[in-house]
Amino acid sequence: MRILLAVASRHHGTWEIGAVVADVLRAHGHDIEQRAPEDVDDVDAYDAVLLGSAVYTAHWLPAAREMARRCADGLAARPVWLFSSGLATQPANAANSPLEIRALVERVGARGHRSFRGRLDRAVLSFAERAVIAGGRAREGDHRDMAAVAAWAGEVAEALARVPAPAPALAPAADRAPLAG
H-run or E-run covering 142: strand 141-142
What's the pLDDT tens digit per position in 72-100? Answer: 999 999 999 999 998 654 444 554 566 67
Query: What is the rounded CA–CA span in Å between residue 113 and residue 51?
Result: 9
What's the pLDDT tens digit per position in 31-78? Answer: 999 999 999 999 999 999 999 999 877 788 999 999 999 999 999 999
pTM of the predicted model, to two decimals? 0.80
**137 φ, ψ to 5°?**
55, 40
